[in-house]
Amino acid sequence: MRATLIYGAGDVRVEDVPDARLREPTDAVVRVLRSCVCGSDLWPFGSRPASAHGDRMGHEFLGVVEEVGSAVSGLTAGDVVVAPFVWADNTCDFCAEGLQTSCRHGGNWGAPDVDGGQGEAVRVPQAQGTLVRLPVAEDSALLPSLLTLSDVLPTGHHCAVTAGVGPRTTVTVIGDGAVGLSAVLAAKRLGAERILLMGRHADRTDLGREFGATDVVAERGAAGVERVRELTGGDGTHAVLECVGTLPAIETAFGVVRDGGAVSRVGVPQYSEVPMDFGVFLRNVTLTGGVAPARAYIDELLPAVLDGVIQPGKVFDRTVSLDKVADGYRAMADRTALKVLVQP
Ligand SMILES: [Zn+2]
């Protein structure tokens, strides 16, 4: 079968790899209908040291079950399923607490000996705990929105939930990428009364307004902080959803959070020290967030996607075939595409 590997910065290739097949009784084999490129894929695409050995890529996919192992129940060949961006048994103590990203028997897609989502098929470990059945046909128009259940929608939701977003909450979302826009959608769905979106790309912030942003702040850094404060009577917002992962973004987050409020970060941090100084201490600001246990949220978010109440698939603004996946990486890296859908 064909699958995507990365060999170094800017070096993404689609190659022949061993076919996905059952190895453990807890496995399933899924033929991929749709996958996509994640903003987090851009970090290795920008900086991975070159090597002779490639790593399999892709952690967001949905597809059709082709085969299930003898220990898997509740799934049969022909089911359309979505996979969260980590696999998990969904039964251990961490999973029971809704922290499938810490599953005692789980792991990452594309790890050694594990397939990635950007390919024709995937061997799914812990299939019963990992895969979620979708009541749709293989050609459903909802596939792009359903695919966001893999990562960006639950990640945006996790960001909003951990920051305590609810009715009467004011929110700042930092970042107009797919996760930031999903965080806007999640905050709106949770009833936030005001959502300020910080982003500079008009086409993206326009989608953010459609998703529920009430204000757009294009300024960055100190000017951005000042603008958010102006818009909020000098106070900042109760919740700040940091969906970028850079040091300037987290600094902005502490600049725009209201005293007693919470900063939640879901952007993969590209910094090692969090700038929580004495001033932040005096203001009783909480830092929360982290990698989203997507599996914990899929059941809750699925009905709104199926009913069309939310249309998170609008974040996909380009589709490529699997053989053109490198073009998709480039388009996202140079910001000519927001999020790229891959159709094998
Ligand atoms: Zn578990």
Q: 313 CA to middle of ligand 1, Å?
A: 28
Buried b (16+ CB within 10 A) or exposed e, 86-111: bbbbbebebbeeebbbebebbeebbe
pLDDT of 116 reads 97
Q: 127 CA to middle of ligand 1, Å?
A: 12
Q: 91 CA to middle of ligand 1, Å?
A: 5
pLDDT of 331 reads 97
pLDDT of 197 reads 98
Question: Which amino acid would we find at residue 343?
Answer: Q
Q: 96 CA to middle of ligand 1, Å?
A: 7
Q: 295 CA to middle of ligand 1, Å?
A: 11
pLDDT of 319 reads 98
pLDDT of 322 reads 98
Tokens representing 73 are 């129940």
Each residue of 277-311: pLDDT tens digit?
999 999 999 999 999 999 999 999 999 999 999 99
pLDDT of 106 reads 98
Q: 342 CA to middle of ligand 1, Å?
A: 29
Q: 122 CA to middle of ligand 1, Å?
A: 20
The C-alpha torsion from 268 through 270 and 271 to 276, rounded to 10°, is -40
Q: Are 100 and 109 in contact (CB under 8 A)?
A: no
Residues with C-beta atoms within 5 A of ion ligand 1 = 88-89, 92, 95, 103
321 strand-pairing partners = 343
Q: 95 CA to middle of ligand 1, Å?
A: 4
Q: 15 CA to middle of ligand 1, Å?
A: 32
Q: Which regions in the chain score pLDDT beneath 50? A: none
Query: What CA–CA distance (Å, rounded) separates 336 from 339?
Result: 9
pLDDT of 14 reads 98
pLDDT of 75 reads 98
Q: 192 CA to middle of ligand 1, Å?
A: 32
Q: 292 CA to middle of ligand 1, Å?
A: 14
Q: 27 CA to middle of ligand 1, Å?
A: 15
Q: 98 CA to middle of ligand 1, Å?
A: 9
Please report the sign of the dihedral spanned by the C-alpha atoms of residue 255, residue 155, residue 88, residue 60.
negative
Q: 100 CA to middle of ligand 1, Å?
A: 6
Q: 304 CA to middle of ligand 1, Å?
A: 26
pLDDT of 257 reads 98
Q: 306 CA to middle of ligand 1, Å?
A: 27
Q: Structure pTM?
A: 0.96
